Structure 1
Amino acid sequence: MLIAQISDTHVSTPEGAEDSLLRTSEHLARAVAHLNCLERRPDLVVITGDLVDRGEVGEYERLRELLAPLRRPVFLLPGNHDDRDNLRRVFADHGYLPRDGFLQYTVDDWPVRIVALDTHVPGQAGGRLCGERLAWLAARLAEAPERPTVVAMHHPPFASGIPVMDAFGLDGSDGLAAVLQRHPQVERVLCGHLHRPIVRRFAGTVACTCPSTAHQLALDLPPANRLAFVMEPPACMLHLWLGSDGGLVTHLSLIAGEHPPLTVHDGQGWIRDPRPPAGFHPA
């Protein structure tokens, strides 16, 4: 099983700054094309929040158009830039989305179970897992203690070392840790929000953040204390389930600036004199 994760797409309407300055819609179209062209097609795609930039209906309508060419099932999660009601309205045919309340759900159709958590707090950049949401998570994990499981959410439950973003972190991470420590079937916690690939041990499992499909956050570690965007190559995460013996392996797949691969081993043996394909240029 292969799970593709993209995040922080920040789709805007054509007049929005994200479209004119950061070209977020164009970048999402490239991400969709990238996923469609992978030799090993993902079984599903999870988008871990900040789907649009202002939470407007027009933005969600544009997001829907951009995702339409994707040849795999898509599962959406809200981030701090999203609006639950407008997301529900435009994606009303996505039957996994609850009709009211928190946008939380489970996906049970593949070998790895997905439990999606809603960390959104309207009007705030940071996230929260309140008692109600944590109780829901505990109940869902208790339903299938033997199933390998991925928990997906927008806000990461750990400090990144990027001071400005850590000020907009997740309230309730201690409660999340307490739940996860009782459920060793959780293979991974998949997050967004930080616009960078970051990995950390958390509560007996591994938590990671996915880059944006467009702009990334500059890696400003202490003592720096600013927030800046950089147009580093966008990327997605590919989470490959190798079975109970191999576990879940996570790969970073760059979307921009790709070159054709130079094959040096064809599965049968090493190629002594590999010939570069058309368009191949060494770095």
Structure 2
Amino acid sequence: MMNRPFDRRDFLKLAGVGGAVLASGLGPWGRAQAAAGEDFLFVQMTDTHWGFEGPPNPEAKNTLRKAVAAVNSLERQPDFIIFTGDLTHAAADEKEGLRRMTEFKAIVSELKVKDVRFIPGENDTGLDNGEMYQHVFGNGHYSFDHKGIHFVALDNVSDPNGLIGEKQLEWLHADLARLDKTAPVVVFAHRPLFDLYPPWDWATKDGAKAIDILNPYENTTVFFGHIHQEHHRITGHIAHHAAESLIYPFPSPGSQPKRTPVAWDAAHPFKGLSYTTITEHAGAAKPTRHPLA
């Protein structure tokens, strides 16, 4: 595992509403797709925590709606949108949990793009190991193909021990086995698959096993949430990118004794909540950040 400066292959910048990401920017295989006329746009949104109230976000009841409006206003609408977990804030009982999930689903139904996908976060699964989540949103792990790219959604939160689990890892291995080792693969997860900062639960206990399964595939990118901040890491040849939250930021890993949200700045509301669009044209990448204001 190592950090290194990003070059053009890794320029994907994710934040806030998530990154709006052109597939043509996802490394050399993405450029090959662009050359074939298959470039496309998708949006990652993460950690909306619907149902959260109080400090550090006095605008908690409006932030998700503002994000939906922001994505709807994009001049180029994405092919699909994925929410990478913590759709709702943890509830004390099943009735309240179901209410939050139902309200969340109604709000995101206002997105212009109707291909909207989800994976769970630990706030969505804590009451019943994901049973209610699956009832409302479907299976927590799955795969799909889009314009020559294989996408994999992992559930690394439903297991109460913080595991992906052997059964799902076996599924991942079988799902990828039919692909050529040069095939482009994009993985979505809630928690980071590597050990970012385990004392704050910023890790997946068996994430290394998933990375071992992914390693033979030469063109793999992982997008995750959970840490409420932009973060980039390279493990071997796999690039991992985290998006900012849609509710409040967290401080840098290990920068303080406890993991507590960054205080709301009334002078700069929605600071740390934003989205980034990335375009690539004629070999030049252009990332643009859009604050959620």
TM-score scaled to structure 1, two decimals? 0.73
Question: What CA deviation, in whole Å up to 9, does each residue of 1:6-32 have, x standing for no partner?
Answer: 1111011xxxxx234434341111111
Cα 1:190–1:252 change in 2 (3 A) is farther
* Matching residue's letter, 1:34: A
Distance, in Å, in 2 between the alignment partners of 1:207 and 1:246 is 22
Question: Shift of the alpha carbon at 1:239?
Answer: 6.5
Alignment of 1:216 onto 2:249:
yes
- Of the structure 1 ranges 67-76 and 110-119, higher mean CA displacement relative to structure 2 is found in 110-119
Cα 1:252–1:199 change in 2 (3 A) is farther
Distance, in Å, in 1 between the alignment partners of 2:275 and 2:44 is 6
Residue of structure 1 in register with 2:108 after alignment: 67
Question: Shift of the alpha carbon at 1:216?
Answer: 0.6
Alignment of 1:76 onto 2:113:
no
Aligned length: 234
Residue of structure 1 in register with 2:172 after alignment: 137
Question: Shift of the alpha carbon at 1:192?
Answer: 0.6
Question: What CA deviation, in whole Å up to 9, does each residue of 1:105-148 have, x standing for no partner?
Answer: 11223332211001014556xx3122222221111122232542
* Matching residue's letter, 1:117: L
Question: Shift of the alpha carbon at 1:218?
Answer: 2.0
Cα 1:174–1:220 change in 2 (3 A) is closer
After the TM superposition, list the runs of 4 or more consecutive aligned residues in structure 1 that deviate by more than 3 angstroms: 121-124, 236-240, 249-255
Distance, in Å, in 1 between the alignment partners of 2:287 and 2:169 is 29
TM-score scaled to structure 2, two decimals? 0.71
Which of 105, 114, 124 is residue 151 of structure 2 equivalent to? 114
Answer yes or no: is the 8 Å Cα contact 1:233–1:254 preserved in 2. no
Aligned CA-pair RMSD: 2.7
Structure-to-structure mapping, 1:83-232, within 5 angstroms = 83=125, 84-91=130-137, 97-98=138-139, 103-123=140-160, 127-145=162-180, 146-160=182-196, 164-165=199-200, 167-186=201-220, 188-219=221-252, 221-222=254-255, 224-230=256-262, 231=264, 232=271
Question: Shift of the alpha carbon at 1:198?
Answer: 0.3
Distance, in Å, in 2 between the alignment partners of 1:106 and 1:251 is 27
* Matching residue's letter, 1:183: Y
Distance, in Å, in 2 between the alignment partners of 1:252 and 1:60 is 31
Cα 1:239–1:192 change in 2 (3 A) is farther
Larger Rg: 1
Residue of structure 2 in register with 1:276 after alignment: none
Answer yes or no: is the 8 Å Cα contact 1:210–1:237 preserved in 2. no
Question: What CA deviation, in whole Å up to 9, does each residue of 1:125-178 have, x standing for no partner?
Answer: xx31222222211111222325422100101022335x742x452111221221
Answer yes or no: is the 8 Å Cα contact 2:47–2:246 preserved in 1. yes
Distance, in Å, in 1 between the alignment partners of 2:159 and 2:60 is 23
Structure-to-structure mapping, 1:32-43, within 5 angstroms = 32-43=68-79
Distance, in Å, in 1 between the alignment partners of 2:53 and 2:77 is 28
Percent identical residues = 24
Question: Shift of the alpha carbon at 1:238?
Answer: 4.9
Distance, in Å, in 2 between the alignment partners of 1:43 and 1:250 is 19
Cα 1:174–1:250 change in 2 (3 A) is farther
